[in-house]
């Protein structure tokens, strides 16, 4: 690997969306570099322990397809404890199996991986084109050059450095944790476990417990802190400490009061904090709540989603807002690009959307699809302008990989 060369595509951020972007760009014969600050791929799905990976369908239909769905289906078939089976809601994956799976996929596709590196600045030309990235590494600053840049940082870091305008939102922050040593034979039904916890709960959240592929373990999505700025390192530190304290309090409640949990223990608290929202770029098209509600499609749709609107920690009551959709909706390519930058594509949760629409599309199933679309788009753009890309060619290529782009593409489950 020669990071001094000029890459066809550089992806910043190795979460679900960034990993898919790198794999799909490399698959289209683009020489691709993936820069990741941690030591593994998968982001919230691995380092964040956010499981299950949701939401792939609505009603009885799959509304998200593509390579990501096939990867998770094959992961479940690889080993009984690697993942539960795919459903329209989504599978629960073992984080270590998923790390290994995604890393192998990336390497096999020809992606150059650069771990332990944090992009901290960019340089731009007069027309707004990003000419280089500056990454902080153990060896000091390194300069990375690419023809097309994909910002999959989760916080739109690259876009912000490049001068792309953005809004900032805030939702509750969570630290996921994995509990093992559970005697499933002695556990009550899920509603009974939830009732026992609910009578003694920590904070306002109820028990969101998701069984692991292993029979003795479960993921807990229960901790939460509000009113923290996830772009501030001091606030992030406070959130981490507070959430970890909550995790141990929750475990103590379960051990004392929930049958089957007497010998349970925390196998792992997530290395990465679960931040739901920070920056959202102001792109060529801002997906709004009305677009989510009406469903339908766009001429440049590159993915669909059917995830509930799920706002954590609203200013009104501190308990957020949650409701399901009656139809899936499309996400247009224009929401991934900005007027200011001819060679930048943004993918994942920071794309151009309002606060409510973002609360639905931020989940990982749409992230898989958005990443695949971003990677293909970057490869098709070459040295050109992402704002002028032929979206018809992009959509045609995505369909070849099983993407679901329009309502008629939805696939019945089972």
pLDDT band at 203 (very low <50, low <70, confident <90, very high): confident
pLDDT of 315 reads 45
Residues 107 and 230 in one domain: no
> What span, in angstroms and rounded, lies between the C-alpha atoms of 348 and 141?
26
Residues, the chain: 414
The residues with which 346 forms a beta bridge, in sequence order, are 151
For residue range 25-56, what is the model confidence (pLDDT) as tens digits? 999 999 999 999 999 999 999 999 999 999 99
Indicate the average pLDDT of the chain: 96
Residues 165 and 190 in one domain: no
Residue 296: other Cβ atoms inside 10 A = 13
Q: What angle do CA 146, 4, 154 make, to 5 degrees?
A: 45
Residues 407 and 314 in one domain: yes
Distance from chain centroid for Cα 59? 22
Residues 236 and 301 in one domain: no
Residue 199: other Cβ atoms inside 10 A = 9
Last residue of a domain, one of 212, 247, 269: 269
pLDDT of 317 reads 52
Model-wide pTM > 0.85: yes
Residues 193 and 160 in one domain: no
Residue 245 has pLDDT above 90, yes or no: yes
pLDDT band at 318 (very low <50, low <70, confident <90, very high): low
pLDDT of 320 reads 76
Residues 159 and 246 in one domain: no
Residue 270 has pLDDT above 50, yes or no: yes
The Cβ-side half-sphere exposure at 241, using a 13 Å CA radius, reads 6
Residues 237 and 336 in one domain: no
Total tally of structural domains belonging to the chain? 2
**Per-residue burial over 375-389, b = 16 or more CB atoms within 10 Å of its CB, e = otherwise:** bbbbbbbeeeebbeb
pLDDT of 1 reads 85
Quick check: is 318 in a domain?
yes
Quick check: is 324 in a domain?
yes
Sign of CA dihedral 397, 400, 401, 407: positive
Q: How far is CA 55 from CA 22, 78, 232, 318, 394, in A?
A: 22, 22, 29, 24, 24
> What span, in angstroms and rounded, lies between the C-alpha atoms of 273 and 176?
8
Mean pLDDT of 250-273: 98
State which residues form the domain around 210: 177-269
Residue 168 has pLDDT above 50, yes or no: yes
Residues 108 and 84 in one domain: yes
Quick check: is 122 in a domain?
yes
Residue 313 has pLDDT above 80, yes or no: no
Quick check: is 80 in a domain?
yes
Quick check: is 1 in a domain?
no
Residue 316 has pLDDT above 70, yes or no: no
Residues 151 and 300 in one domain: yes
CATH code of the domain containing 305: 3.50.50.60
Residues 156 and 58 in one domain: yes
For residue range 321-370, what is the model confidence (pLDDT) as tens digits? 888 999 999 999 999 999 999 999 999 999 999 999 999 999 999 999 99
Quick check: is 90 in a domain?
yes
Share of the chain above pLDDT 90, in %: 94
Share of the chain above pLDDT 70, in %: 99
Last residue of a domain, one of 237, 269, 301: 269
Residue 281 has pLDDT above 60, yes or no: yes
3-state DSSP of the chain: CCCCCEEEEEEECCEHHHHHHHHHHHHCCCCEEEECCCCCCEHHHCCCCCCCCCCCEECCEECCCCHHHHHHHHHHHHCCCCECCCCCCCCCECHHHHHHHHHHHHHHHCCEEECCCEEEEEEECCCCCEEEEEEEECCEEEEEEEEEEEECCCCCHHHHHCCCCEEECCCCEECCEEEECCCCCCCCCHHHHHHHHHCCCCCCCCCCEEECCCCCCEEECCCCECCCCCCCHHHHHHHHHHHHHHHHHHHHHHHHHCCCCCCCEEEEECCCCECCCCEEECCCCCECHHHHHHCCCCCCEEEEECCCEEECCCCCCCCCEEECCCCCEEEEHHHHCCCCCCCEEECCCCCCECHHHHHHHCCHHHHHHHHHHHHHHHHHHCCCCHHHCCHHHHHHHHHHCCCCCCHHHCEECC
Last residue of a domain, one of 220, 245, 269: 269
Residues 221 and 158 in one domain: no
Residues 226 and 264 in one domain: yes
Quick check: is 246 in a domain?
yes
Q: Which residues contact 84 (CB under 8 A, 6 or more apart)?
A: 52, 76, 91, 92, 93, 211, 213
231: tokens are: 């772009």
Is the bond into 55 cis (omega within 30 degrees of 0)?
yes
Phi and psi at residue 340, in whole multiples of 5°? -80, -20
Quick check: is 241 in a domain?
yes
> What span, in angstroms and rounded, lies between the C-alpha atoms of 310 and 338?
26
> What span, in angstroms and rounded, lies between the C-alpha atoms of 1 and 5?
9
């Amino acid at each position: 690997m020669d990071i001094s060369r000029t890459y066809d595509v550089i992806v910043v951020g190795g979460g679900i969306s960034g990993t898919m972007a790198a794999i799909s760009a490399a698959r289209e014969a683009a020489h691709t570099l993936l820069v990741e600050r941690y030591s593994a791929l998968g982001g919230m799905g691995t380092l964040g322990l956010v499981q299950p990976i949701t939401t792939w369908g609505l009603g009885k239909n799959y509304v998200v397809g593509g390579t990501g769905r096939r990867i998770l289906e094959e992961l479940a078939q690889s080993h009984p404890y690697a993942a539960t089976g795919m459903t329209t809601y989504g599978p629960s994956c073992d984080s270590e199996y998923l790390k290994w799976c995604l890393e192998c996929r990336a390497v096999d596709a020809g992606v150059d991986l650069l771990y332990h590196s944090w992009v901290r600045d960019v340089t731009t030309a007069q027309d707004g084109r990003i000419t280089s990235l500056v990454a902080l590494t153990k060896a000091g600053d390194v300069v990375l050059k690419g023809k097309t840049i994909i910002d999959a940082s989760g916080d739109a870091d690259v876009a912000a450095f490049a001068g792309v305008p953005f809004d900032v939102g805030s939702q509750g922050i969570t630290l996921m944790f994995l509990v093992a040593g559970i005697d499933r034979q002695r556990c009550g039904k899920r509603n009974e476990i939830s009732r026992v916890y609910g009578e003694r709960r920590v904070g306002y959240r109820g028990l969101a417990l998701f069984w692991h592929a292993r029979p003795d373990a479960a993921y807990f999505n229960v901790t939460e802190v509000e009113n923290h700025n996830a772009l501030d390192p001091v606030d992030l530190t406070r959130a981490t400490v507070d959430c970890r304290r909550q995790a141990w309090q929750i475990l103590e409640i379960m051990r004392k009061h929930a049958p089957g949990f007497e010998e349970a223990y925390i196998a792992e608290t997530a290395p990465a904090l679960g931040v739901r929202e920070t920056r959202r770029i102001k792109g060529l098209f801002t997906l709004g709540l009305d677009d989510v509600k009406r469903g339908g499609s766009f001429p440049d749709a590159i993915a669909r989603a059917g995830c509930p609107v799920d706002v954590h920690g609203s200013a009104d009551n501190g308990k957020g807002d949650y409701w399901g959709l009656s139809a899936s909706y499309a996400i247009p390519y224009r929401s991934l690009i900005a007027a200011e930058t001819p060679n930048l594509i943004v993918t994942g949760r920071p794309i151009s959307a309002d606060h409510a629409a973002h609360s639905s599309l931020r989940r990982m199933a749409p992230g898989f699809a958005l990443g695949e679309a971003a990677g293909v788009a970057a490869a098709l753009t070459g040295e050109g302008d992402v704002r002028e890309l032929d979206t018809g060619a992009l959509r045609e290529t995505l369909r070849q990989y099983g993407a679901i782009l329009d309502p008629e593409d939805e696939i019945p489950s089972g």
